[in-house]
Structure 1
Amino acid sequence: MPDTSQPEFRPFADDAGVQNFENLSFENGTTRIALHGSLDLTRDRTGLDRARALRAVLDAIVTALEAEDLPQAVAETTRASTTVKNPFA
């Protein structure tokens, strides 16, 4: 079940929000949402509740994506590398 003590997860709304389900987390971003961890969906009432909660978050993500005119792919941004002085030298 989602942690109800957390603020509502709004997909793509910010670069800081996280929605946790036990050992699975959805890390929000304005251009992507990263999933980390694992979630056991057992064949019982608890598993059904977890599957429904997971579906609710995925439905919110799909709804947010369908509401926009999306590019074919997100532009990747990279930063040039910088050289720093070795603090151990």
Structure 2
Amino acid sequence: MSFIPFLDAGKSVRIDDLTIESGTERIALYGRLEIRRDRIGLQNIQALKAQIDAIARELEGSAHLPERARSAHQTSVMPSPFMGRSCA
């Protein structure tokens, strides 16, 4: 159930309660993953490592990486539609 990082936009893979979601410009990781000292913990960490390694290979193979990509959290100030209106 792996995806191709930065190619399969909108596709995701889950490892326990951790979701890794691919986009064309960024990879999002969210949720929770507990690595316990048991076989399932080993399987989970191996699955996570495989995904991280695939993401690293894709980035390492990119010829033109910018120093810093534009952040999804950049905001701009928009004027309030309520400014200048009086309550009557």
TM tier, smaller: 0.7 to 0.9
1:72 maps to 2:72: no
TM-score by length of 1: 0.74
SS at match of 2:48: helix
SS at match of 1:65: helix
Give the aligned CA root-mean-square deviation in angstroms.
2.2
- 1:58-81 Cα shifts (integer Å, max 9, x gaps): 000000000012110112466865
Q: Match for residue 24 of structure 1?
A: 18
TM-score by length of 2: 0.75
Displaced runs of 4 or more, over 3 A: 76-84
Unpaired runs of 5+ in structure 2?
82-88
- 1:24-76 Cα shifts (integer Å, max 9, x gaps): 00111111111100111111111111111110000000000000121101124
CA distance in 2: counterparts of 1:29 and 1:17, whole angstroms: 8
CA distance in 2: counterparts of 1:65 and 1:19, whole angstroms: 19
Q: Percent identity?
A: 37
Unpaired runs of 5+ in structure 1?
85-89
Aligned residues between the structures:
79
